[in-house]
């Protein structure tokens, strides 16, 4: 396989850390970024010159540009950009702290925007590159009580990535959105703040919080396997536009797509009737159709 140069955000733990290791084990070079690069140097020191730790706060556009320049100064190119940095806090929408909601969005969406935009001139000049967006299966199906900011940002990343793929395809740039389900990382551990949950939301937000954070079995997903799958996939000539990872992610993606198709079919006549020249009015489908 051709040796690749990876640029990975959020490399200090979880899937980001596993990705750094998997890429290095595959013989690639990695620019590993995090707010504290000292932790990265300690974690990956055994790989010597193959890994280059760089400080990066993804919410600062100027920091993103500086990190990209540092990567180019070290390795001369960037073949794979991975936007992995992200986190989620828990609270109902009604009682969410506005500043906290916005702060999550700053990392989970604007961080992706900042780093991607900083890297695009390089990818365009190279005429090649792969952008990997670490999203969530929740960014496709949504509806997880308590993490509205996180899921809204992941939906935004998906929309952003669809446009990015079309705009950059003529330059030889590929875009892949990764959609994991639950993995054994710190995402729902110390990285997550759970704000007070009012009694009125106990059966929704409270129940979801207990399921995610208090499960005795733990998450089913193996970060090491996920990272190795991503590395193997990136080394292919063709990559999928979206890659669900995990049994739950696969099942949820298929079920959601099937429901969308059934609903669009059931409402097709009504939807088409909004255009001039189409039969109008169209009968509404029976109650309970495609629910």
DSSP codes of every residue in 195-218: ----GGGIIIIIHHHHHHHS-SS-
Catalytic residue among 135, 136, 144, 149: 135
Identify the CA nearest to 242 among candidates 157, 127, 171: 157
The predicted pLDDT at position 211 comes to 78
Of 11, 12, 144, 150, the active-site residue reads: 150
Where does 5-245 sit in CATH, by number?
A: 3.40.50.720
Domain ranges of the chain: 5-245, 249-291
More confident residue, 217 or 288: 288
Q: What is the pTM of this model?
A: 0.94
150 is catalytic: yes
Mean pLDDT, rounded, of the chain: 93
pLDDT digits (tens, 9 = 90+) for 57-70: 999 999 999 999 99
Residues 127-182: tens digit of each pLDDT:
999 999 999 999 999 989 999 999 999 999 999 999 999 999 999 999 999 999 88
DSSP conformational letter for 183: B
Unique residue bearing structure tokens 């986190």: 87
How sure is the predictor about 83, in pLDDT bands with cuts at 50, 70 and 90?
Answer: very high
Whether 154 is catalytic is yes
Q: Which whole number is the average pLDDT over 246-259?
A: 95
Question: Which residue in 113, 136, 149, 154 is the catalytic one?
Answer: 154
Residues 125, 127, 132, 138, Cα dihedral to 10°: 100
Bigger pLDDT: 290 or 8? 8
By mean pLDDT, which of 165-174, 182-191, 226-235 is the weakest?
Answer: 182-191
């Amino acid at each position: 396989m051709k040796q690749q140069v990876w640029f990975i955000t959020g490399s200090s733990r979880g899937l980001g850390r596993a990705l750094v290791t998997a890429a290095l084990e595959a013989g690639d070079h990695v620019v590993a970024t995090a707010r504290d690069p000292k932790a990265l140097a300690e974690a990956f020191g055994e790989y010597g010159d193959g890994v280059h730790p760089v400080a990066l706060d993804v919410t600062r556009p100027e920091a993103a540009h500086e990190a990209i320049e540092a990567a180019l100064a070290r390795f001369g190119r960037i073949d794979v950009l991975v936007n992995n940095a992200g986190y989620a806090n828990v609270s109902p929408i009604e009682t969410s702290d506005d500043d906290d909601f916005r702060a999550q969005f700053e990392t989970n969406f604007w961080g992706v925007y900042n780093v991607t935009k900083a890297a695009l001139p390089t990818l365009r000049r190279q005429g090649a590159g792969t952008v990997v967006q670490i999203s969530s299966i929740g960014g496709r199906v949504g509806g997880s009580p308590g993490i509205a900011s996180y899921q809204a940002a992941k939906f935004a990343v998906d929309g952003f990535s669809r446009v990015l793929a079309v705009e950059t395809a003529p330059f030889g740039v590929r875009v892949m959105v990764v959609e994991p389900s639950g993995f054994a990382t710190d995402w729902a551990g110390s990285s997550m703040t759970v704000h007070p949950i009012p009694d009125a939301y106990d059966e929704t937000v409270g129940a979801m919080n207990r399921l995610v954070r208090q499960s005795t079995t733990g998450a089913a997903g193996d970060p090491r396997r996920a990272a190795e799958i991503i590395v193997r996939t990136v080394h292919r000539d063709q990559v999928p536009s979206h890659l669900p990872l995990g049994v739950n992610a696969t099942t949820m993606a298929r079920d959601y797509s099937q429901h969308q198709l059934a609903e669009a079919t059931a409402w097709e006549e009504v939807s088409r009737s909004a255009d001039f020249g189409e039969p109008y009015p169209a009968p509404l489908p029976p109650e309970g159709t495609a629910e």
